[in-house]
């Protein structure tokens, strides 16, 4: 899906900014480091650093990265997330989403950026019993939230304990209805 006309890599509206998917492609639209997820992640991180700077925003304004990846290896997925946090910031929400494949052979990652000049630190609340962690990042006018499961056990949608645990995490984070957040 090479694009033969100019387009915006990132859009800024006052203190907020969003990107289209950042891909590990060279100037000719060829895949960089085909089938090497870590090299492609590094290339995409470089692109992200460059376009955020060109938008006049600090790298610390990035609050959320949605990392689409075509990799089944959970160790590599963990390494990809770790590498993005190392390059972009330890307190960035990184949401990995597995996809079956991309349009380009050998491409393993594409990353969307969400940023806010008013971004504040990340808050993490956990429920050990169910292996859940809620990560909340205050982006000023936006609040980015991610729910992460650390347990591999099968969960049914009717599990009242799980629903209660999630409710407790929301309350602990101060996100319940009527809160000042």
Map residue 50 onto helix, strand or coil. helix
23-33: pLDDT as tens digits: 999 988 899 99
Contacts 24+ apart (CB under 8 A), 37-43: 37/69, 37/71, 37/76, 37/79, 37/80, 37/108, 37/109, 38/76, 38/79, 38/80, 38/83, 40/107, 40/108, 40/109, 41/80, 41/83, 41/84, 41/109, 42/83, 42/87
Q: Which domains does the chain have, with CATH numbers?
A: 1-119 (3.30.1330.40), 120-181 (no CATH)
Q: How confident is the model at residue 165 (pLDDT cuts 50, 70, 90)?
A: confident
102-127: pLDDT as tens digits: 989 999 999 999 999 999 989 999 99
What torsion do the CA atoms of 65, 41, 80, 60 make, to the nearest 10 degrees? Answer: -40
pLDDT value for 6: 54
Indicate the average pLDDT of the chain.
89
N- to C-terminal Cα separation, the chain: 41
């Amino acid at each position: 899906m090479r694009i033969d006309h100019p387009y915006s890599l990132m859009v800024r509206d006052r203190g907020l900014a969003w990107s289209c998917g950042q891909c590990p492609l060279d100037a000719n639209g060829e895949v960089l480091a085909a089938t090497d997820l870590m090299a492609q992640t590094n290339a995409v991180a470089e692109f992200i650093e460059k376009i955020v700077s060109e938008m006049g925003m600090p790298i610390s304004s990035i609050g959320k990265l949605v990392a689409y990846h075509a990799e089944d290896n959970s160790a590599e997925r963990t390494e990809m997330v770790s590498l993005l946090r190392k390059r972009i910031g330890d307190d960035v929400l990184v949401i990995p989403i597995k996809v079956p494949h991309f349009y380009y052979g050998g491409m393993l990652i594409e990353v969307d950026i969400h940023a806010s000049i008013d971004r504040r630190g990340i808050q993490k609340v956990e429920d050990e019993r169910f292996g859940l962690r809620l990560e909340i990042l205050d982006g000023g006018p936006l609040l980015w939230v991610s729910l992460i499961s650390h347990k591999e056990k099968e969960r049914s949608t009717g599990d009242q304990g799980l629903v209660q645990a999630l409710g407790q995490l929301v309350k602990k984070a101060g996100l319940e209805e009527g809160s000042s957040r």
